[in-house]
Chain A
Amino acid sequence: MAVDRSEVERRVKATVARVLDLEPEQVTDESNFIFDLGADSQQSVEMVAAFEEEFDIEMDEDEALAVQNVRDAVEFISEILDQ
């Protein structure tokens, strides 16, 4: 069954806001984790763990850390959920 992308997007944004201690509206589709949202390397790893927990999935850390922005994160996670 295909995942509901809008639901994934909502949960990704909420997770990002929680980990980076931001207001939810600060997190947009285009937000770059590092340059726009200020994530450092440690927070990036924490965010990967947060996505895993939120969606009950396992992500390859190397591939997950290559994802730069919210839109790509939604895509990346949706693909895993689709499998």
Chain B
Amino acid sequence: MEYRSLTAQEISELEDAGCHAEEWSRVLVAEGFRPGAVARCTFSGAVRLGAFEEPIRHGATHLPSGVRDSYLHEVTVGSNSLVQSVGLLANYDVGREACILSCDSLTVEGETSFGNGVRIEVLNEGGGREIPLFDRLSAPVAYLAVCYRHRPRLVDAIEQMVRHYAAGKEGTRGAIGEGARVLNCRTIRNVAIGVRATLEGCTLLQNGTICSSAEAPTTVGAGVTASDFIIGTGSVVDGGAMLKQCFVGQACRIGRQFSAEGSAFFANTECFHGEAVSVLAGPYTVSHHKSTLLIAGVFSFYNAGSGTNQSNHMYKLGPLHQGVVERGSKTGSSSYLLWPSRVGPFTVVLGKHSAHFDTGSLPFSYIDESDGRSVLWPALNLFTTGTKRDGMKWAARDRRTDPEKLDPIRFEVFSPLTVGRMMQGIAELEELYASAPREQEYVRHVGIDIKRLLCRRAPRRYRMAVEAYLGETLVRRLEAAEDPADALARPSAGAAGEGDWVDLLGLLAPRGQVESLCDAVERGQVDTLDALQGRLQALCDAYEDHEWAWVLAAWEEWHGEVPAKMSTAELAGVVRDWEETALKLNAMILKDAQKEFDQTSRIGYGSDGGGEAQSRDFQAVRGEFETNEFVRTLREESETIRARARAVLSALGAAGEE
């Protein structure tokens, strides 16, 4: 924008309106500037003012734009903005149509990179797993930087990229984006404020970046104190939240006095009331209740019950223990885990556990406490309403509206990761059952006890899930191609998806592909954060191709057959088996849902009446099983399974045959 000097007449009008300037010659204005929009201000250093022609919207009203009752030092104010009653606004460029109202001070003091480059101690409070923050940090990049310490050259390379990126953010001036609103805040120091962000009633913000965009505006609300931080687009941090050395990703909700230190939270996380220390909280980490402490752990797709707690500090060398709670897990009210431990995917933890266990190979389980002993109930969380609902809700609840979604997320409950773990679990459980004497009640598995008899049953549950998944994937392939030969051919990526899979905090990918990417980073072939992010996104996009390669290999291992070599009759058999298994699993989940309507669930209803009142009260609040939305969805899904099976059998020319 072009600026000009003030005329003598304009200076005179400004002085008459109670304005003062250290040097009027250093106050420049845009074409269209009217002195009448400026009153009772002090200017020092170089100040540039836009044209204040249009009113600015403030709640339900419109206020005249301009600059009034404020001290401005080394500031540019964009056209049609309002700066009013600001004790000190220094070293900022304020975008067009911004509104800064009733604030104590917004200043940039000295050289700063606005939170970029700050190293935070996640996962291990004793250090050794620090990540450097930057305003485009994604969950898998954080995961690699924190958890791949066995590859020091990789970690060094990522840190180097971040240092380079943060250096590009260094400066002595800050930006308050176009259309941003900063209202009734106290101290804001060295904070970059994005486009259309709203800051209202913040207490103290320092050394940070609030990313925000027109599509995904960000809100930082009342009583928030934050230092050394990054907040991602579309997030809301309010309700007196206290953040120190934290990264908050996209579309997160942090509030109601939640306090966090040395922690990183990624997309769609919700944390209220409780506390987090040194946590690497992947997408969909949820902690809603008071007295809940998440500490020194990795979490994702996680739900913390009230009073959930962990310890990392029971021994003499300091807080050096850490825990891993894999995707989809929950911890019940007042549950406790003494780190180190690892909770496998989709596992429910109940009770207090001072044993150190690793249940990674036994996903979809319950971990309970019995007479002070930690007991695993393998595969009991496999065909439950809760697991099914979780799988349905995450993708539907992705609140990210930013066109650029930084965290590449795969939402699948059943994937090569979890199914591969179940296949491993089957072998382990069968071995445990075979080797334990019949009179033995419990067997021991990596630090946890399992009822010996469950080692007999659980593999069958896992088998059903494995077969349903393999069948579903194959049927999906058959549905997508006209010719079965094309459908069952190897994927274009070849064998790239075979072998173990890993979960990079929401991104499911073959271990081999992740290792190849790490190699490329170490060799300098991937040497910018954008390039690294691009490769991770490509891995996410290639999921189906990699998954198919994995399924082909798993099919051969599991069934001893190569799908592409199966006859039409054999394929038809696969489709029928899949239909039967999938319907059976849905029926089991429906039965589980039915418990929510049984007599026990009615306790507490109709408290001032008899059985009839109880029944009617329950029905009024909870409705009927038959009309319940989840139940209807599941039944529709069963109908869809039947229809899909019919269609594929028809395409195979096998409809009606048995």
Residues of A within 8 A of B (CB): 19, 41-42, 45-46, 48-50, 52-53, 61-62, 65
Contact = CB atoms under 8 A, between A and B. Distances in A.
B380 A42 contact: yes
B584 A53 contact: no
Contact of B456 (A42, A49, A65): A49
A46 B366 CA distance: 13
A48 B587 contact: no
Interface residues of B, number: 16
Given A42-B368, A45-B380, A61 B457 contact: yes
A52 B433 CA distance: 13
Contacts, number: 34
A49 B584 contact: no
Contact of A49 (B366, B368, B453, B588): B453
Given A53-B438, A62-B584, A45 B591 contact: no
A46 B453 CA distance: 6
Contacts of A46: 451, 453-454, 457
B444 interface: no
Contacts of A62: 584, 587-588, 591
A83 B461 CA distance: 24
Contacts of B438: 53
Interface in B315-369: 366, 368
Contact of A45 (B368, B454, B584, B587): B454
Nearest to B375: A42
B58 to A, nearest CB: 56
B95 to A, nearest CB: 58
Interface of chain B, main secondary structure: helix
A61 B453 contact: no
Given A41-B380, A61-B457, A61-B460, 10 more contacts: A19-B453, A46-B451, A46-B454, A46-B457, A48-B457, A49-B454, A49-B456, A50-B453, A53-B453, A65-B591
Contacts of A45: 377, 380, 454, 457
Contacts of B454: 45-46, 49
B588 to A, nearest CB: 6
B460 A42 contact: no
A3 B382 CA distance: 35
Contacts of A65: 591
Interface string B580-597: 000010011001000000
Contacts of B457: 45-46, 48-49, 52, 61
26 contacts: A41-B380, A42-B366, A42-B368, A42-B377, A45-B377, A45-B380, A45-B454, A45-B457, A46-B451, A46-B454, A46-B457, A48-B457, A49-B457, A50-B453, A52-B456, A52-B457, A53-B438, A53-B456, A61-B457, A61-B460, A61-B461, A61-B588, A62-B584, A62-B587, A62-B588, A62-B591
A53 B454 CA distance: 11
A40 to B, nearest CB: 10
Contacts of B368: 42
Task: Output the residue of A45, A48, A50 with the most chain B CB within 10 A.
Answer: A45
Interface string B489-506: 000000000000000000
Task: Output the residue of B454, B457, B460 with the most chain A CB within 10 A.
Answer: B457
A51 to B, nearest CB: 10
A41 B461 CA distance: 15
Nearest to A58: B460
Interface string B402-421: 00000000000000000000
A81 B617 CA distance: 45
A19 B453 CA distance: 10
A42 B368 CA distance: 10
A11 to B, nearest CB: 14
A48 B456 CA distance: 10
A61 B457 CA distance: 9
Interface string B447-467: 000010110110011000000
A45 B592 CA distance: 13
Interface string B363-391: 00010100000000100100000000000
A62 B589 CA distance: 10
B179 to A, nearest CB: 54
Contacts of A50: 453
Task: Output the residue of A49, A53, A65 with the most chain B CB within 10 A.
Answer: A49
Contacts of B587: 62
A49 B380 CA distance: 13
Contacts of A52: 456-457
Nearest to B599: A35
A41 B383 CA distance: 13
Task: Output the residue of B366, B377, B453, B587 with the most chain A CB within 10 A.
Answer: B453
A65 B438 CA distance: 23
Nearest to A51: B453
A36 to B, nearest CB: 14
Nearest to A66: B591
